[in-house]
Every structure is written in C-alpha cells, then in structure tokens.
Chain A
C-alpha cells in the first residue's frame, strides 16, 4: 500500500466515522436525557453523561402515563398497515412486473401522481371524507389512510424485486404443472422474501413514526399513536423532557427488534444459483 492510498483509506474511514457520529448523536442524546434524573437535568450544564443515572423516567412512563396505550395503538396501526400494504403491493407489483395489460401506463402514472402532493394539502379533504364514515378518531381510519399513501411506493419497490427474478422460473413451474397463482405462491414469493422484508420494514417505520395524520384525525388518548402521545409530555408551562425521551427510547425498541428479525432477508440474495452464474 502506497502512502497516498493509505492516506485516502484513513480519510475515507474518518469520513464514515464522522457521519456515523453525526447520525447517532441524537439517539445518544435521547438515551442520555432519558437516564438523567430530573434534579440533574438543568443543574449540571451540558455534559456528555450525567453524574448519576436513574430509570425513574422509564418507570413513570410505563406505570403512570398513557404511554402503554399509545404503544399498543401504534403497534396495531403500524403492524396492520405493514401487512395490508405488503399484501397489496406484492400482488400489484407482480402484476406490473409480469403482465402486459391495457392502461398499465396510466395506472403507473396515476400511482406516481399520488406521490407528488405534500401531505399537508390532503389533510382537510381526507378528514372531510373519513368523518361521515365514522373513521376519524379510529385506528381503522389511520390504517386505511396509511395504506393508501404507502401502497404506490411499496408497489414500485416490490415490482423491482419481481423484475429481478427470472421469468424462466415461473415458466418452469407452469410446465411442471403449476397454475399462475401456484407458481407465484410457491416459487416467486419465497424468492422475494428479501423484497417483502424490505417493504414491511419500510412501511412499518413510516406508519410507526407518522405524526401529521395521527394528530389531525385522532383526538383524545384512546386512539392516539405514540408520536401524538409524545406531545402529551408537553404541557402549557413545561416540557417533561426526561419522560418524553424515555418514551422515545421505548418507542425505538419495536423498530430495532423488527429490523433485527428481518436483516437476514435484507442482506441475502436468495436468487443466487437460480440461473447460470
């Protein structure tokens, strides 16, 4: 290794390190504040780590706040949205990838069009539509709205994964005696697991952290999701940072567990060896 390439390598690694520090620092700060006892929060000045840590905030959040309800609501909404969207996106992505049909171009264009509006523009009309249906202040309403917004992108995502699977495989399955749907279910779907995992992960996190619609469509704590719930730590005269951060740390757990579970599929290229290569 020459001196020049050594310098470049070191610079490269340092740049990556700087980026990681930059990206993770807010998370670190979240954890730090959540563990700092209230009496030290304003008295110690800016320190990287408090002189004493306590789990009081966590205890309070779990035992004495509505956070468990928010958490359950978020889990229901994000989980249902992820499942609904992934099923719809798998089917429509497969159709876009494999079939030629009339108006395909226009359907794609329409789906793309839905992605072009700032969501704020749509809050009022959506409220107006859901209200007479009794879907405001309901988790079902949120699932429907989130699904509607996530299906187009998830469809394009799934389509690109289906495009990557050789057509020969399902033709071979059809000749082996499978119907189109059996071929899809038994041959194509298992090979798309990395794509499905990516789609579920993407939709789950999007729904998990969505604030705007949750805030506008939900009033009251019973159907509030946790991003809305976080705001309940803000009162007229003070912000309870310790508890808010503790709730934030707890809210990170499902997302982390989720990605831990699916990371195997995210990195694995299952199609290796399918065709010549």
Chain B
C-alpha cells in the first residue's frame, strides 16, 4: 500500500494537449474515483500512473518515489482493464498466477495466494477453465483476482464495469467496495458513471477537458459543486440550470428570470446588480404543487414514472426543467402545476460558470 502524488502532470499527443497540469495527492489506502465524460483525460491520467503512457511534463510518485521513467513492471501496481484483458490461452489459475510466476515466486506461495484470492472472489470452481468458457461477470472477477493475487502498492481500475449489464454492475460495484474495505488498498478508479463514482469513492476527482474541475467527497460534489460542469455531471437526473440576472433587493437578494419572475436567494452575494448568473437546482429539490397552489407556473410536458419515483419534464415560459418526486399523486399531474424553489437548495453560478459562495 502506498500514497500516490501527482504534480502538474501534462500530456500531449503532438500539438494536442490532453492533460493541462493535474495535481493530486492520494493518501495511502484511499479510494479515488476519476470521473468525467469521454475524452476528459481520466483514462490517460490512469495510464500514465500505470506507466502505459509517457509523461509529457510533471511528476508522478508512488510511495514517495518518482516513477516517471520506470517501466510498468517496476511500479508494483495492478490494473483491471475495461476489456478484462485475460490471457485467452491460459486457465483462470494461470491468469491469476502469471504475475507471481514472472516474479519467480515459490510454487507453494503462488498456490496459496491464488486459492486465497479465488475463494475471496468465489472463483474456486472455475480455476481450470479458460476465459472463453466464462461469463462476463466471471471474467470480470478473474480480472480482479489477477490484480489482488499479489499485494501491489496500488490498484488501478479502468472502467472495469462498463461491459457488464446493469444488475451485474450493481453487484460488482458492491463487491469492489467490500474488497477495498477488506484489503484497504490505495485504489484509483476511472469511470464515466457518476453513480459508480458516488458510491465507491472516498474522494471524487471530476475532470473535464484535461483539467481537474473539483476534488472532494461525493457529498461535497453533490452539495457544493464548484462549477456548472460538476453541477451538471453529478446527479441523475441532472441539475436544472436557469439563466437569470442577479437582483440585490432590499429585503434579501433574488434572481430574475427572463420573463421577470423573481426567485429568492438564501443570502446576499457580492455581485453587481443585474449581473448575468445561472441558478441551479436539483430536480429532487424542486417543490411541486397543484395549479391552484403557490409558486411559479409551469406546464407539464412529459411524465416518466421510474417506479421508485417520477420524473416530470416541465417548462416555464419555454424554459425546460425537470422535477423528481417520490410522491405518486403527481403521476397524473398537469397540464399546469406550480413549482417553488426552496432558497436553501439553490446553487448560484457566475457568468464564468463558477460557483458564487459569498
């Protein structure tokens, strides 16, 4: 187990720069999730830590030792690939023991390590099989087994669950979390799935366009997103954004929507009057009432029942937004409803898209 320190890491392919100076300190035993849309550089960063991509600039240190110029084999890390990358001509046991055999570990040690890992992952009956005789979930497990069989300094996961169906993904997610609890190993996990990020991470690193947007605990990112990108990326259904102008007001600040509707803010901010802002609110925080209730008028466009709750697609003067509610009485809402935006749940972003805090 080890800490991983990343300092001002840059990566370019020719003239194209994909990572623009990433800083990150990962503590010993921490579970870090790199999350972001396709092409944000998260996989590149992971592959640079693994040693599979060369570092254009900056430093990577594992357990305090600079590893920029070390081959992957000398970094003592394990990695689980999205494609699993199992060796097709080897049995499950051989796949799992390959790294130990390369290190000339004594046979008895290999056997005990493989059987310990196999029983942890429920792979005992499959040890003699070839990968092609395994289901997707079993292959995934073997890939995990291959990683845990030697005790590396860190585990790297590159979207390991993307190829599984939803149910299996949920199950494996829980197993990975449990495994991390058992082994306490430093882990870096790359995903574009924000649910995986939220459920697994000690800390999430949200990335976009090769730049780290925010680092923090899952609830930090959920409750206090640093900018519009993080606010929109974390949470499903995504946060509603309404373009507005800041109104200082004498009896408390508010924002004015395009049609003149005022929405009260929880506090005053150091913004100029009439400055363009974006106000954000999560669908589950919007309060819904009948057309004769109080609040802002909205038309119902679409209702999506999910069983657990209901997602209502609404518009207010052409401005679309969503509401999520577990109250089933709203299943037949419409055609018009009233909504209100509790000030405590509003997020305010300035013209640059950054969160306004004071």
Name A's B-contacting residues (CB within 8 A): 166, 168-169, 171-179, 182, 187, 190-191, 270-276
Contacts across chains A and B counted by CB atoms under 8 Å: 81
Task: Check A171–B81 contact: CB distance below 8 A.
Answer: yes
Stretch in B85-93, B315-323, B325-333 with 4+ CB within 8 Å of A: B85-93
**What are 25 A-B interface contacts by the 8 Å CB criterion?**
A168-B83, A171-B50, A171-B52, A171-B72, A172-B79, A172-B86, A173-B87, A174-B71, A174-B72, A175-B51, A175-B52, A175-B77, A176-B98, A176-B102, A178-B102, A190-B89, A191-B88, A270-B88, A273-B139, A274-B88, A274-B131, A275-B85, A276-B84, A276-B136, A276-B163
Selected contact of B83 from candidates A173, A182, A276, CB within 8 Å: A276
C-alpha spacing A175/B47, complex, angstroms: 11
C-alpha spacing A178/B102, complex, angstroms: 7
C-alpha spacing A175/B73, complex, angstroms: 5
C-alpha spacing A171/B73, complex, angstroms: 10
- Chain B residues within an 8 Å CB radius of A190: 89
Closest 7 pairs (CB-CB, A-B): A273-B132, A275-B83, A168-B85, A176-B99, A172-B85, A177-B102, A274-B88
Selected contact of B73 from candidates A166, A174, A272, CB within 8 Å: A174
Report the nearest A residue to B87, measured CB to CB: A187
- Chain A residues within an 8 Å CB radius of B50: 171, 175
- Chain B residues within an 8 Å CB radius of A168: 81, 83, 85
Task: Check A271–B99 contact: CB distance below 8 A.
Answer: no
Distance from B75 Cβ to chain A, minimum over Cβ atoms (Å) = 8
Distance from B165 Cβ to chain A, minimum over Cβ atoms (Å) = 12
Task: Check B79–A169 contact: CB distance below 8 A.
Answer: no
Distance from B97 Cβ to chain A, minimum over Cβ atoms (Å) = 10
C-alpha spacing A171/B89, complex, angstroms: 16
C-alpha spacing A176/B143, complex, angstroms: 12
Selected contact of A274 from candidates B51, B77, B78, B85, CB within 8 Å: B85
Interface check B273, CB cutoff 8 A: no
Task: Check A273–B102 contact: CB distance below 8 A.
Answer: no
- Chain A residues within an 8 Å CB radius of B132: 272-274
Quick one: which of B117-151 are within 8 Å of A by CB? 130-134, 136, 139, 146
- Chain A residues within an 8 Å CB radius of B83: 166, 168, 274-276
C-alpha spacing A273/B84, complex, angstroms: 10
C-alpha spacing A58/B99, complex, angstroms: 57
Selected contact of A191 from candidates B89, B102, B133, CB within 8 Å: B89
- Chain A residues within an 8 Å CB radius of B139: 273, 276
Report the nearest B residue to A190, measured CB to CB: B89
Task: Check A272–B146 contact: CB distance below 8 A.
Answer: no
Task: Flag B45-83 by CB within 8 Å of A: 1 or 0 each.
Answer: 000001110000000000000000001110001110101
Interface check B103, CB cutoff 8 A: yes
Task: Check A273–B88 contact: CB distance below 8 A.
Answer: yes
Distance from A193 Cβ to chain B, minimum over Cβ atoms (Å) = 9
Quick one: which of B238-276 are within 8 Å of A by CB? none
Distance from A3 Cβ to chain B, minimum over Cβ atoms (Å) = 41
- Chain A residues within an 8 Å CB radius of B86: 172, 273-275
In the complex, given contacts A174-B72, A175-B50, A178-B73, what are 8 additional A-B residue pairs having Cβ atoms less than 8 angstroms apart? Answer: A169-B85, A174-B52, A175-B51, A175-B72, A178-B102, A273-B86, A275-B83, A276-B84
Task: Check B85–A273 contact: CB distance below 8 A.
Answer: no
Quick one: which of B96-118 are within 8 Å of A by CB? 98-99, 102-103
C-alpha spacing A176/B77, complex, angstroms: 8
- Chain B residues within an 8 Å CB radius of A172: 79, 81, 85-87, 146
Distance from B48 Cβ to chain A, minimum over Cβ atoms (Å) = 13
Quick one: which of B195-240 are within 8 Å of A by CB? none
